[in-house]
Amino acid sequence: MKLSWLERIFAVTNQGYSKVICLLGVTIRFSGSLLCKFYRYLPIDNNKIVLSNFDGAGYGCNPKYITQEIIKRKLPYKLVWLVRNPGDEAELENFPKQIKLVNFFSLKALKELATAKVWIDNQRKVRFIKKGLLKRQNQYYIQTWHGSLGIKKLDANVSAFVSEENQAWVNYAKQDSAMMDFFLTNSDFELKVFKSAMWFNNEYKNYGHPRNDVFYKDNSEICKKVKDYYEISESDHILLYVPSFRDDGRLYCFGLEYDNLLDSLKEKFGGEWKILVRMHPRFVKFQQRLIPQNENIINVSEYPDIQELLVAADIAITDYSSCIFDFMLSRKPGFIYASDIKEYDNDRGFYYPLTSTPFPVAQHNEELRKNILNFNYESYREKVEEFLKDKGCMEDGHASERVVDLIEEIMSKGVK
């Protein structure tokens, strides 16, 4: 790009987490780490909240439903959301007009975090910590996390994560946990897991997960929204398939036979079916390879909010994704299709056996077909209730309200 004569004399640009100054042909780069130190001297805006979802993935998960409650109450907060493509029109359409969007990978994101009263995230802030981010006095960090009664082991409980070669990541994760003020849980089980896995020693809030409030409300509008978005007939049924990722990147485990699955669904439940497939963000790059081209199979990997997909689905299938434990709250049928259980248990590890869940477990396609054809809803429903009681789950549809009550307390009085 040709520069004007003025730009050749003096120009200031942002390049990712750095600021670049060009003066009389001499380029000077200020790193994000250096600027973070400067930002610490800027005043904290006592009405500002900065939110993020899966490293800038968009408007979804717990931060979304907390935001909805803030907007519903018409609270006078400045809401800043860190996203990957803030200028994208499709991205803009997903967000309420009350929210300011900032590029997740920009220097501005560091500045917004450094000057906000409250941070809300569902994932670790390791990327920002590497750039020098530190929480200041009178700032508050609410960690919502993104799992629910999840079966796969986390952080300190995974031997591969805490190995010598990953020591740098462990140190960053510990710094992140040290900055957190509050960690949300939804059960006795989660509280026990987080205490052993997350290196977190501050205050747990057994509020439930805000994203799960949606299962306790009238969902007719959300169902219509999803079907309209993908041009699915109102009379069609939906199966949502959400496979998880594998730490070693193996793909042979994604061998679901979609045509046989469709036949099984029609035989057992009747009607016409669409299969919606949502790949894990780490495996989206393989979606063309793993998802067949078929009018009855729809790739929904880019849909911003998986909770809306779960609400619209009549049945869900996963291998190890915690989304099935959110879906469980709807009491609709859920199934496990996992062809590499032993390998996954060796690599990552489980907190409890898959077979102890309410979901029928299949390790190959024929077994999945039998599980569908033999599905007994009454028995399944009883197992769901027993499972939730055993885990001490307290979800009741009011988690967002509790979190926003906490935020109001922080904003008005401070909690520390």
Write the burial class of residue 62 (CB in 10 Å: 0-12 exposed, 13-18 middle, 19+ buried): buried
pLDDT above 90 coverage of the chain, percent: 72
Block residue for tokens 């915690």: 322
Residue among 61, 57, 99 at smallest CA distance from 78: 99
Given a cut of 90, whether residue 89 has pLDDT beyond it is: no
Question: Alpha-carbon distance 133 to 98, whole Å?
Answer: 26
Per-residue pLDDT of 375-396, as tens digits, reads 999 999 999 999 999 999 999 9
3-state helix, strand, coil in the chain (%, to 5): 40, 20, 40
DSSP 168-208: HHHHHHHHHHHH-SEEE-SBHHHHHHHHHHS---SEEE---
Do 59 and 95 meet the contact criterion of CB atoms below 8 Å apart?
yes
The encoded tokens of residue 59 equal: 């408007």
Q: Any idea where the domains of the chain sit in the sequence?
A: 5-30, 37-212+397-412, 218-390
Question: Alpha-carbon distance 305 to 313, whole Å?
Answer: 13
Element (H, E) at 371: helix 365-373
What are the distances in angstroms from CA 258 to CA 216, 273, 322, 364? 31, 11, 22, 13
Residue 14: beta bridge partners? 19
The encoded tokens of residue 33 equal: 């780490």
Write the burial class of residue 409 (CB in 10 Å: 0-12 exposed, 13-18 middle, 19+ buried): exposed
Residue among 358, 243, 236 at smallest CA distance from 290: 243
Q: With b meaning 16 or more CB within 10 Å and e meaning fewer, what string describes 117-130?
A: bbbbbbbbbbbbbe
Per-residue pLDDT of 114-173, as tens digits, reads 999 999 999 999 999 998 999 999 999 999 999 889 899 999 998 877 777 789 999 999
Do 38 and 30 meet the contact criterion of CB atoms below 8 Å apart?
no
Indicate left, alpha or beta for 357 from its phi (over 0: left) and psi (-120 to 50: alpha).
beta
Instruction: Kindly state the greatest CA–CA separation across the chain.
Output: 77
Per-residue pLDDT of 300-359, as tens digits, reads 998 989 999 999 999 999 999 999 999 999 999 999 999 989 988 888 899 999 999 999
Per-residue pLDDT of 265-288, as tens digits, reads 999 999 999 999 998 767 777 777
Class of domain 218-390: alpha beta
In CATH, the number for domain 37-212+397-412 is 3.40.50.11820
Q: Do domains 37-212+397-412 and 218-390 have the same CATH topology?
A: yes
The encoded tokens of residue 55 equal: 């490293």
Torsion angle in degrees (nearest 10) through CA of 213, 215, 220, 221: 30
pLDDT band (50, 70, 90) for residue 193: very high
Of the ranges 3-12, 124-133, 214-223, which one carries the lowest mean pLDDT score?
A: 3-12
Angle between helices 399-412 and 61-72 (to 10 degrees): 70
Do 354 and 336 meet the contact criterion of CB atoms below 8 Å apart?
yes
Residue among 203, 198, 223, 189 at smallest CA distance from 325: 189
